[in-house]
Amino acid sequence: MRYCSRCTYPIIAVNLSMNDEGVCSGCVVQEEKEKLDWKARENEFRELMESYRSKDEGNYDCIVPVSGGKDSHFQVWYITQVLKMKPLLVTYYTHNYTETGEANLRNISRVFGADHLIFTPSLKTIGKMNLATFKKTGDMSWHFHCGVWTTPFQVAVRYNIPLIVYGEHGFLDLAGQYSFSDRPEFTMRDRKEHYLRGYDWQDFVGMEGLTAGDLQWARFPGDAEIERTGARGVFMGVYVYWDGNKNAEEMKKFGFRENPEPYERTYRRSSNVDDIHENGIKDWLKFVKFGYGRCTDHTSKDIRLGIMTREKGMELVKRYDHVIPEKSLQHFLTMTGMSRDEFFRISDTFRDPRVWRIEKGQWWKDNVWGEASAYGEVKLPKEAWGKYEKKQR
Ligand SMILES: [Zn+2]
């Protein structure tokens, strides 16, 4: 396993590539970000937004998808207070909100005086989706990603509001998947291949008794509807300098709240506050699959910003990346009725053999700090061990 020589990412993470000096694409694009003319970009954004402003106040100017977090607050602050526009806030409600996340979600429309549409899928359906997508994709939060990248477009075509303004482009920021000069926008290819891991709603029909009718909310509008309305998703972070840490600090003045207690899996308290699984088992499964977790994401970002040393980053990764998040795990087991043992058994089927090997009945992997360590007992049946046993360093 190779790691970036500058941050803490393994090369296998978030579609990274690595240059000849062993520096990852995320670190390279961060350098590019620091050199851009952000004033000019902001003007470009203003022009883009102006071209969508409703002429006679007959409709909303744009849609802003919000989870309620620090970046949602920043988006809505900027669009309502700086640009003086009328957005319709749209939320796909995950059923996994924490108390603080729920308070943040309610705060955002209140404090900025915006209308807010919260779409709540059936809890019964989401319970089934949690099970089906965990078994098939190793990600119980699949429905969450699907909702975030579907509900705003369904609303766009139904309400005739063509412009959807997302916040940061996640893969650009973490992985340098594109250059800022590409000005990446939402594409259906990104939706399916990256955010939805190559699956779509049809893949789950028939699992756990799910019907096509249960999954209305998961269907992306047809081409004709998109063309008729001109629906388009842009990312504000491509035009307005994005600093998540600063957004969190600034937005506290408007009532945004951090998680009141420390997380089990990372040191940062201002990110992923809304959804119990985001810093919980969904993220632990990322560690199981690809050998890194949220703490690697956070330390890599902070190292790139120059506010943390790589040594400190590695120390934190060592402390947090492997930890089993009990609260989120309990929430999932209660919602689905799955046993703890079955959960770990299914999780093991998603281990990537590029990361994991089996020695003496234990899972082993290399680490960013240069040593290999064991991470618990193998729950896979013996006949499935082959590809992990042969795979020595
Ligand atoms: Zn890097």
The answer to whether residues 29 and 179 touch, using CB atoms and an 8 Å cutoff, is: yes
Cα of 18 from ligand 1 centre, angstroms: 8
Count up the domains in the chain and report the number: 2
Cα of 182 from ligand 1 centre, angstroms: 20
Cα of 310 from ligand 1 centre, angstroms: 10
Q: Does residue 393 have a pLDDT over 70?
A: no
Pairing of strands 357-359, 115-119: unpaired
Cα of 216 from ligand 1 centre, angstroms: 39
Domain boundary among 210, 238, 266: 238
Instruction: Classify residue 78: in a domain, yes or no.
Output: yes
340/308 same-domain check: yes
pLDDT digits (tens, 9 = 90+) for 84-102: 999 999 999 999 898 999 9
Q: Does residue 55 have a pLDDT over 60?
A: yes
What local confidence, expressed as pLDDT, does residue 62 receive?
Answer: 98
Cα of 314 from ligand 1 centre, angstroms: 13
221/362 same-domain check: no
What local confidence, expressed as pLDDT, does residue 392 receive?
Answer: 52
The answer to whether residues 301 and 308 touch, using CB atoms and an 8 Å cutoff, is: no
Instruction: Give the C-alpha separation, 265 to 262, whole Å.
Output: 9
131/182 same-domain check: yes
212/299 same-domain check: no
- Tell me which residue range forms the domain holding 294: 25-33+258-389
pLDDT digits (tens, 9 = 90+) for 322-345: 999 999 999 999 988 999 999 999
Cα of 196 from ligand 1 centre, angstroms: 24
195/210 same-domain check: yes
**Nearest Cα residue to 81 out of 113, 104, 48, 54:** 113
Cα of 7 from ligand 1 centre, angstroms: 4
67/178 same-domain check: yes
Mean pLDDT of 272-292: 88
Cα of 28 from ligand 1 centre, angstroms: 7
Cα of 272 from ligand 1 centre, angstroms: 22
What is the C-alpha radius of gyration for the chain, rounded to an integer number of angstroms? 21
171/70 same-domain check: yes
Cα of 175 from ligand 1 centre, angstroms: 8
